[in-house]
Structure 1
Amino acid sequence: MKVVIDEEKCCAAGQCVAAAPEVFDQRDEDGIVVLLDANPPAERTGAVLDAVSVCPALAIRVEA
């Protein structure tokens, strides 16, 4: 699994960080998403998919 973010779409809601804090963080200055792990281990798949589903800006996608 590869996680891809689109910083241009990010609205800094922070839902991804709440869903998967091991994979996502936010920049201090503007709250835009920061990808901590583009290839998270299989045990984090559920949390990453939750983050994708709760992102209001659709700024996160998963590639196989």
Structure 2
Amino acid sequence: MKAFVDENTCICCGLCEGICGEVFNIDEGYAVAGEVGAEHEELVREACDSCPVEAISIEE
């Protein structure tokens, strides 16, 4: 699984980082993500579903 954050949509609220700081972090004014280990998949899906501006997408 891989997580992506649309830098043009992200409002840098930090919710994703609060849910799964092992995958998401705030950098340069927007959240960034990348490869997701199996142990974090559930939290990444929660962060994706919780994003207030739907800036996070997931590729299985």
Identify whether the pair has TM-score above 0.5, normalized to the shorter chain.
yes
- Structure 1: gaps (5+ residues): none
1:1-64 residue pairs with structure 2 within 5 A?
1-27=1-27, 30=29, 32-35=30-33, 38-64=34-60
Larger radius of gyration: 1
Identity of aligned residues (%): 35
Contact 2:4 2:32 in 1 (8 A): no
- Structure 2: gaps (5+ residues): none
Provide the alpha-carbon RMSD of the alignment. Answer: 1.2
Distance 1:20 1:54 in 2: 12
Distance 1:2 1:25 in 2: 15
Structure-2-length-normalised TM-score = 0.89
- Provide, for residues 9-64 of structure 1, a one-character-per-residue CA deviation record: whole Å limited to 9, x for no partner: 0011110001100001112x63x1122xx111111001101110110111101111
For 2:31, the aligned partner's letter is V
